């Protein structure tokens, strides 16, 4: 009988690759979703969809029943209380329910900038509290502190303009979601991966501008890369009462100050070193989006 793993956040940009990798590796994948119809439209009929909500602990029992593992990939925001409600308390609910039902292994996506000195930023604070709740649950865990994902690069494009917001001076080891997904899947097969906090970094370091220029030159040559001051984006957000722009300005202000941290050596040794370069990933995106070009 196949082991079943529940994926929380499988319809998201980073949760879906994990769900598909787990299935490819022979697991039966169950998906927790607030809207099964919407999830089926995105994911197809390959997964067992269970209606539930991390904010409703009672709805988690059915989803976790009989599971060999659970993977949590949650995103809150844009307000501080939303990060706390979803990323912190939602994760805590899943961890507690997993403990009560005897789930053997839990994996969680955190971040490579998640350190106490960065807890002034609401998302980081929520992730630190989520990690603490996971440890307190007693469920064996693997926490993945991942750097910036290559999949986020298209999000910087609006129309025919790509914006680097702020100076963004840090060199980041951009990571492909497929490499990360393989590492998560392997963690469920290795007893040595239990109760570890892994730092997950890609093979090369690029600044945000360098990475965005590489993506645009390969995939979107019609797009021009420009710079936008953080203060200007913040002002536009406030004047227009646009909470999303205000959040993006705050996020870019954080990225301006905080780079990535941690040593990936243990993760690479146990789970396999990420190998996808930015050039390889961009070329794959070009072929997928423009097969005739």
pLDDT tens digits, 106-134 = 999 999 999 999 999 999 999 999 999 99
CB-neighbour burial class of residue 257 (10 A; exposed 0-12, middle 13-18, buried 19+): middle
Q: What is the pLDDT of residues 174-232, one digit of tens each?
A: 999 999 999 999 999 999 999 999 999 999 999 999 999 999 999 999 999 999 999 99
d(CA 16, CA 42): 9
Rounded to two decimals, the pTM is 0.95
Rounded to a whole number, what is the distance in angstroms from the first to the last CA of the chain? 45
**Degrees to nearest 5, angle at CA 263 with 259 and 11:** 70
Asked if CATH classification 3.40.50.720 holds for the domain at 4-150+175-203+259-274, the reply, yes or no, is yes
pLDDT at residue number 1:
55
**pLDDT at position 76, please?**
87
């Amino acid at each position: 009988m196949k082991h079943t793993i529940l994926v929380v956040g499988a319809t998201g940009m980073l949760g879906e690759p994990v769900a598909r990798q787990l299935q490819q590796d022979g697991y039966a994948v169950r998906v927790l979703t607030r809207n099964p119809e919407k999830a089926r439209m995105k994911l197809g009929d390959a997964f067992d969809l269970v209606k539930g909500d991390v904010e409703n602990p009672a709805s988690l029992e059915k989803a976790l029943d009989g599971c060999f593992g659970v993977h949590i990939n949650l995103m809150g925001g844009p307000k501080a209380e939303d990060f706390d409600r979803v990323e912190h308390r939602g994760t805590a609910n899943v961890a507690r329910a997993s403990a009560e039902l005897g789930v053997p292994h839990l994996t969680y996506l955190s971040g490579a900038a998640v350190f106490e000195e960065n807890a002034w930023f609401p998302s980081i604070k929520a992730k630190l509290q989520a990690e603490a709740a996971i440890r307190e649950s007693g469920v064996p865990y693997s926490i993945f502190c991942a750097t910036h994902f290559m999949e986020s690069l298209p999000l910087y494009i609006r129309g025919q303009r790509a914006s680097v917001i702020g100076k963004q001076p840090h060199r980041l080891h951009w990571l492909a979601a497929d490499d990360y997904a393989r590492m998560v899947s392997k963690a469920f097969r290795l007893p040595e991966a239990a109760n570890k906090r892994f730092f997950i970094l890609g093979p090369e370091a690029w600044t945000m501008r360098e990475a965005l220029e590489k993506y645009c030159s390969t995939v979107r040559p019609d797009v021009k890369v420009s710079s936008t001051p953080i203060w200007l984006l913040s002002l536009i957000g406030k004047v227009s009462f646009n909470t999303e722009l205000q959040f993006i300005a705050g996020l870019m202000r954080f990225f301006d100050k905080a780079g990535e941290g941690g040593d990936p050596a243990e993760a690479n040794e146990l789970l396999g070193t990420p190998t996808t370069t930015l050039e390889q990933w961009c070329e794959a995106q070009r072929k997928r989006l423009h097969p005739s070009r």
